[in-house]
Amino acid sequence: MTQVATVEKILNDGFVEISVPRKSACGHDCEECAGCGMTGAAITATAKDPVGVSVGEKVVVESSTRKLLGVVALVYVLPVVLFLLGYFLSYGLGNEGWRYTIAIVAAAVAFIPCIFYDRYAKKHGTLTYTISRIF
C-alpha cells in the first residue's frame, strides 16, 4: 500500500517520524456529509529512510499490503466470526437473550488476540513504513 506522508522528525539509525493522513471509506467529502468529525486526523508512525529526507518534506511511503490485510482480518473478521459462532452454537440454551449475551461475549473475547498482536507489532516493528521517494 502506498501513501503520501509528511516527515515530522529525524530519528537515529536511518528512521524518521512521519505523519500519515488517516484514510477511510467515506472519501472525506466533508462538504456533503460532515458527519464523521475526522477532518485533519493523522497517524504518527516510524518509517525507514533509505532516501535521505529532511523535516517538512512530503514523501511517498509504502507498507506491506499482506501484513495489513492480516491485521484487517484479525480486527474486523475475527469478532464477527466469533459473534456468529457464539450465537449459532448456543442454540439449545433457551431464550434469545442468552444467545445474544453469549455472542457478544464471544465477540469481545475476539479482541484479546488483537491486543496481543498490537503489543507484538510495536515491540518487533512488524508494521513499518518505508520511504520510497520524495513526493
| Residue percentage of the chain with pLDDT more than 90 | 30
pLDDT at 44: 82
Structural domain including 45 reads 2-134
Q: Confidence band (pLDDT; 50, 70, 90) for 135?
A: confident
The span from the CA of 115 to the CA of 49, in Å, is 28
Over range 1-13, report the average pLDDT. Answer: 88
pLDDT at 29: 56
Q: What is the CA radius of gyration of the chain?
A: 20
pLDDT digits (tens, 9 = 90+) for 68-126: 788 888 889 999 999 999 999 998 887 899 999 999 999 999 999 989 988 888 788 77
Alpha carbon dihedral 7, 12, 13, 16, in 10-degree steps, equals -10
Q: Using CA of residue 5, residue 46, residue 78, residue 99, what is the dihedral sign? A: negative
| Residue percentage of the chain with pLDDT more than 70 | 86
Q: Give the count of domains, the chain.
A: 1
CB 106 within 8 A of CB 36: no
